[in-house]
Amino acid sequence: MGKIIVFFNHKGGVGKTTLVHNLAYALADKGKKVLLIDADPQMNLTASMYRLSTSMEYSTANNSKWSQNTQKYLSLVEYLDMYLKGEESTKQKYEIKSGKSYIHLISGDIKLSASEADLYQIIKNSNTYTQSIPNKFQTSITDLSKDYDFTLIDTSPSASSIINALFMMSSNYFIAPVSPSFFSLQAIDNLSEVFRNWTNLLKDYQTTRGFKGLNFDVKFLGLIVQLAKRYKGGGKNYTSSTTAWIGDVNNSVKEFQKYALNTGHSINEDEFRSIFPNRDPFIIELCCDFTPQLRTIAEKEGVPVIHLTQNICKKHNKSVDITKKDGQYKMSLDSIKESYNNITENLIRL
């Protein structure tokens, strides 16, 4: 069975979707079969995978690219309805080839908010007819993952989301993307409370010897720091404010990790070092902030940043040269490619 990894942080704007998008391509480029699940009603991952770059393509008009794709490809709400309500669908998962393999997508769905409300009522008001729903939810995810090396789940930044809680307790691993800000630090400080609330909410559905429920087997892997500020010289020369913040966040994450380890929801320091060599527990990778120009070009072209080429850059911005030695664009792109490649190679150790 493939590895199921949830990406969650209840602080938005930390580059979570960008991270998931690029890691999916990086894993596929190495020959790994990847499934993406867009569990965020904002559907940014879906838009990235559909390669939508204009408001016309993203509109709800019948002839728009968005509407054509949603009519053709399976959404998360439709997939869950197949398992939880026994409904049928002839739609297929969205597929795109990258490198040596393929990436499949269970698309996001604006109706996920309504499904969220329904599931919350089921969980809070359990009865004989509904107590099997969480197990069916978990089975729907584990059945999917059997055909893939990695299933990556992009969640919403909601600490109160029952769907986030169900995905978390149905998965193998959890990674928290963060950015160097006070609010991200605060979010890490609050992770223990988030997990405690989710555990209390779902405790009656945990698998026991005589009851099929949720496994509660998820393990915290660590943090991935996105948007780290560096000096113009490039490389891994981080600004003093970023360096100080990294020290603070490492202290905070160790407090959460202790709680998670005691409740069976984290790997230990030795396991971390065996998976992520040359990294300090529990920071998996520091990813430098890449320039807005590169991000904009990638969005317009509908590709992950790691797949940018000079021809693509010239097509959208002739001033952007990613081949110039010691140029800011080349250093920025080389840095982010190295970071995502490091994460990918280490995840393959799981």
Q: Cα separation of 222 and 321, whole Å? A: 34
Report the pLDDT value the prediction gives residue 58, as an integer from 0 to 100: 56
Instruction: Tell me the DSSP string of 40-83.
Output: -TT-HHHHHHTT--SHHHHS-STTSHHHHHHHHB-BHHHHHHHH
Ramachandran angles phi, psi of 61, nearest 5°? -60, 150
Total domains in the chain come to 1
Q: How does pLDDT run across 97-115, given as a tens digit for each residue? A: 999 899 999 999 989 989 9
Place of tokens 């569990």: 39
CATH number at residue 326: 3.40.50.300
| Residue range of the domain that includes 63 | 3-347
- Residues 303-324, mean pLDDT to the nearest whole number: 96
Poorest-confidence range of 37-41, 50-54, 170-174, 234-238? 234-238
Could you tell me which of 97, 19, 64 has the C-alpha nearest to residue 340? 19
Q: What is the pLDDT of residues 193-243, one digit of tens each?
A: 999 999 999 999 999 988 999 999 999 999 999 866 665 555 556 677 777
